[in-house]
Chains A and B, each alone.
Chain A
Amino acid sequence: MTETEFEPKIVAFVCNWCSYGGADFAGNMRLQYPSNVKLIRVMCSGRVDPEFVMEAFRGGADGVMILGCHPRDCHYLEGNYNALKRYTMLKPLLDQFCIEQDRLYLDWVSASEGEKFARVVREVNERITQLGPLDWGKVLDARQGGEV
């Protein structure tokens, strides 16, 4: 597979109240975005366990997105803040696993932001495509080579 043909696998965890609705709205507006980004609905971005993110990378995802309600808009008041804290904590740890930090993406998409939903999906897809596949052979080699 050449670099241009590479189509990354991207999983997006979306909260039920805002970002799932944002994706719905993108659909209503018939906005086109890459089909390789697939959604998993959770009730709140605060439900996204860092374990889910690591499991996604382990299972073959090249990129993971977490989309929640905007600050102050969380249906559960503070869940998105918890998501932000966990994301902030998890991101630097990815380096230890030789996973580029840019493979994990957090953003806020409201239920009326169909445009934004489609845009961030396109942007993240572009970014992950440029990074190329998450190469676990490389990751393991690097670990064994003591680079970590």
Chain B
Amino acid sequence: MKAKERIGFFLCECSQNISGTVDVRKIKDELKELPDVVTAEVTNLYCSKEGKIEIIKSIEEHNLTKVVIGACSVKQHEKTFMAVLEEAGLNPYFMQLVNIREHVAWVTSDKDKATAKALALLKAAYHRVYFHEAFEKKEIDATADVLVVGGGLAGCEAALNLASEKRKVYLVETRPSLGGQASKYESSFPSLECCSCMILPILQKVVENPHIELLNYSDVEDVVGFFGNFSVTVNKKAKYVKPDKCIGCNECVAPCPVEIPNENDDFLGSRKAIYFQVAGATPFIPVIDKENCLRFKGQDCTKCRDACMFDAIDYEDKDEKIKLPVGAVVLATGFQSFDPSLIPNLNFSSGTEVYTSLQFERLISNTGPTSGKLVKRDGTKPKSLVMVHCVGSRDKRYKNYCSNVCCSVLLKMSSQILKENMAEGIQITHLYRDLTIGSTGMEEMYEKLSDEGVRFIKISNPNDIVLQPEDGKVHVVLPEKTMTADMVVLATAMIPNKKAEKLIDMLMLSRDEEGFVMPTHRKIDALATPIEGVFVVGSAGYPKDITHSVIDGSAAAGKIGSELQPGKKLEIETLISTIDEEKCSGCKTCISICPYKAIGYDSEKGVSVINEILCRGCGTCAVACPSNAITVRHFENNAILAELGGLL
């Protein structure tokens, strides 16, 4: 049954670390007596330069076919000794490293017991190496081009950092223009710096970068393939405006007879059917919203085309599907606001003086529906403003988490109102549970606001207050008292962008209980995902502010840049699972259990097929396979059972 092997043992004394407790010389003599063992040697330190040379010489001298090394942890020196075998011309997998230091010498004070244990482990390894097979490193062709989905700041930053002479970036944005949520804000915290001034140069760089293909007003329809070799189908929605002719003069917009709620203002203001996403949008070219345009509802309206002086309106424009080969995907799909109407006691509905924080951002923005004038719906200036923190947050009934950003946003908006004197003598009151203002400069902002008379009232749970809108005012009912405000702002939780769900599912990514994309590891690998080559940045991963979204974008670019280099092949995991087609019954059990979606189905052959690029060799499929058709390289059943048999 066993092939004729020439096996060598190398027992390390690790100075006294091993030999102080384990009698390696006695073991050596016993091991020498085993069949097929041609040498058993002891030295002081096999990981030293001299020690390595001893192993290499012995392998050559004795013409060894398999090697068992008794030394330290595989974590410390498995790679070291694999390299030694390679240098000696042996396949690196023809070796088993037995940990007789951490797992024996250091944990067993009784010398006889330690020696017996070490001997048992070495014998087990001896039985195992008969089943060791040779494996070679494998490389595959890959494209270094990258797809970035989402043109917010995280996505733009990733695209800018990735794009180069040798690497093309496709930036897909579902809306007409770039900038994401940040393009809605007038100012940013803590400096109250003008947000447009801060972000527009970044967006402009994206548009001007020759290595970024901007696919705005487009959607990802399909993604197939794997790391290094994805194929993406993108639908470029018809814009009905020729980008090469339009100069962004805005003449076409006013004549449009359609008025619909403007999603860019979180439905606070209205827009036309032909529209710019926001004043100063990048790119600054309008699109015709087919859903609402009268022409596409069968009416013979040509008002926008009549107004256009550049012949830029093209009603015949069509959707266009394109296929893009990319090596990696960056998901930067962002967040949206929690819907406060889900909290019944807040009585949230449009037309009242209660606003979400995103709506309020628009209300105090120069590009918003009131051109930055802080006024109530009746046009009068508010004298009192109540800001409610944690709406829908930190509450098991709604969203359990803290969005990290909202407290700072409310402080920022308060500061902006006071600094710009947007409403003379306004009394601002914050109702909060805890203040989460960890960013630089926010503590100072809080102190300044307190000094300026902004009231901060701590309440047990903001989600329990009752709001009663009445005649352009809002009664805010707290357990102890009721106050009346001209306007109320709700700092609603940041939730994952619902429009991205289909894509997330298409990429086979997992979402946590709140819907955010699960990374490989929340702390130490928070941008990579279990689907190799797919990265998640910005608030698609969890709520983040601008700073952290931008950092994410750069960091993901760095990870991709180091893993996927233009012109270079990808080295793939050697120790993966393989399927014996003869034995596979095609039951697909393995497909459902694989955490990396690395197993597909060959319907012609009726068997499961492992994608060797995606498989990471955990081996859970091998256990699940009812036909024993799956083998895990280097951890095959017979190797493990041989080791087990040797131990017992």
Contacts and interface: CB of A to CB of B under 8 A. Distances in A.
Partners in one complex: yes
Interface of A: 9, 11, 16, 20-21, 23-24, 26-28, 30-33, 35-36, 38-44, 46-52, 55-56, 59-61, 75-79, 82, 86, 118
Nearest to B616: A76
B74 interface: yes
B107 A33 contact: yes
A11 B647 contact: yes
Contacts of A36: 117
B98 to A, nearest CB: 10
B530 interface: yes
Given A11-B644, A24-B75, A26-B107, A47 B623 contact: yes
Given A26-B107, A27-B106, A60-B648, A42 B619 contact: yes
B107 A47 contact: no
Interface in B96-132: 99, 101-110, 113-114, 116-117, 120-121, 124
A82 B620 contact: yes
Contacts of A51: 637
A43 B639 CA distance: 13
Question: Which 8 pairs show the lowest CB-CB distances between chains A and B?
Answer: A27-B102, A46-B620, A47-B619, A76-B618, A27-B106, A77-B595, A35-B113, A44-B618
B619 A44 contact: yes
Interface in B111-156: 113-114, 116-117, 120-121, 124
A38 B120 contact: yes
Contact of B102 (A24, A40, A50, A79): A24
Contact of B635 (A33, A43, A77): A43
B622 A35 contact: no
Contacts of B620: 44, 46-47, 76, 78-79, 82
A28 B623 contact: no
B232 interface: no
Contacts of B635: 42-43, 47
Task: Tell me the interface secondary structure of chain A in the complex.
Answer: mixed
Contacts of A41: 74
A52 B619 CA distance: 13
Contacts of B641: 52, 55
Given A11-B647, A55-B641, A76-B595, A47 B632 contact: yes
A110 B590 CA distance: 27
A15 to B, nearest CB: 9
Contacts of B645: 59
B104 to A, nearest CB: 7
6 contacts: A16-B74, A21-B75, A32-B108, A40-B647, A46-B619, A76-B618
A35 B595 CA distance: 36
A87 B7 CA distance: 36
Interface in B67-101: 73-75, 99, 101
A32 B619 contact: no
Nearest to B105: A27
A24 B103 contact: yes
Interface in B183-217: none
Contact of B644 (A30, A59, A79): A59
Given A24-B73, A28-B102, A86 B117 contact: no
Contacts of A9: 648
A9 to B, nearest CB: 6
